[in-house]
Amino acid sequence: MEPSDNPYTTAENGHGDLEKLKDGLAIITGGASGIGFALAEASIAHGLHPVLVDIQDDNLTAAAAKLEASAAAAGVSVFGCKTDVSSIDSVEALAKSVSERYPDKPVSLLCCNAGVGVGGGVLTGSNRDWDFCFAVNVMGVLHCIRTFVPQMLEQNAPGSIMATASQDGLCAGQNVYGVTKQACIAIMEGLHQELQGRLTSHVLCPQVTATNIVGSERYRPDRFGGPSQLSPMAQAAMDRFRSEGVPPSQCANHVFEAMRTGTFYVMSEAEKDPGYIRLQVETRMHSILNGERPFRPRSPWHAEIFSPRRNKESD
């Protein structure tokens, strides 16, 4: 079948008019910072009530306080709920809290956005690294989907599901993090086919974004080794992410535009590195179709951000 023969057009995966979702709930995991917080801001702008879901109480309190004024102006409310998405019991408790607080409002948007960045490769990543990264980036997405999507389908109301993956989910696989992000994309692809247009679905694949994902070690649960302080190299990388990465608001805007138009793969590229995500996809598909070995093309911008030399120069 030629690509043009694909019956699943973007129009069938979009709402056209996002007013259809107004006054519903937007459940956003990882909602207290980064892309999640930006999704909450965008939800308010579209008349949705954001439910901020995060593993840190203090972050939730601060995030909710920042949103109070804009939420009040839009006539919506903000609700924060501490949740560990890697635990199905915690996610089910979240669902109960949401239904008790908002018994008459539909879940119009589910954002499976919580994620952790754990280093290490196939050989060098520890068992706890693999367990931690899969528990959040893969099982966390599944827990939220399997808990909330059946409810969304029963509502018989318009709705959308999105998950935050990464450009690392589209390129030739590498390291613990990249493997989990490929799995996240596969989950969303499978879900999209199961939904058969009853709800729209989208997967966000951004480049280096101005978030704290490099600092995930600070929130590692005890069962996965417990929290730890960042190394000077990791701290420097996180600082560069925050100062030079794609603004989270850009990612959020791309998600809401995708919900309108029906785009499934939301490639949120950096202005400093135009075309790089597409190049990675094309390179990988070329390797698959032509029997070549996996290869990820180099990005000078990425190399600059991750360069250990810059750490030494800043000392």
Residues 6 or more apart whose CB falls under 8 angstroms from that of 78 comprise 40, 44, 49, 50, 52, 64, 67, 68, 71
Token digits of residue 23? 């006054």
Please state the length of the chain: 315
Query: CA nearest 23: which of 43, 7, 41?
Result: 43
Residue 99 — pLDDT band, cuts 50, 70, 90? very high
Assess contact for 144 and 92: CB atoms under 8 A.
Answer: no
pLDDT digits (tens, 9 = 90+) for 63-84: 999 999 999 999 999 999 999 9
CA distance 305 to 302: 5
Residue 229 — pLDDT band, cuts 50, 70, 90? confident
| More confidently predicted of 234 and 114 | 114
Winning range, highest mean pLDDT, from 4-8, 186-190, 267-271: 186-190
pLDDT over 80 (residue 312): no
Number of structural domains in the chain:
1
Q: What is the average pLDDT score of the chain?
A: 91
pLDDT over 80 (residue 184): yes
Query: CA nearest 264: which of 209, 208, 197?
Result: 197
47-61, 164-178, 225-239: which has the minimum mean pLDDT? 225-239
pLDDT digits (tens, 9 = 90+) for 244-273: 778 999 999 999 999 999 999 999 998 889
Does residue 201 sit in helix, strand or coil?
strand
Query: Whole-model pTM?
Result: 0.92
pLDDT over 60 (residue 54): yes
- What is the per-residue pLDDT for 149? 98
| More confidently predicted of 246 and 89 | 89
pLDDT over 80 (residue 214): no
Q: Is 156 left (phi over 0), alpha (psi -120 to 50) or beta?
A: left
Query: 138: buried, middle or exposed (CB in 10 Å: 19+, 13-18, 0-12)?
Result: buried
> What's the average model confidence in pLDDT over 48-61?
95
- What is the per-residue pLDDT for 9? 67
- What is the per-residue pLDDT for 1? 45
Instruction: Give the CATH number, domain containing residue 269.
Output: 3.40.50.720
User: 165: domain range?
Assistant: 3-314
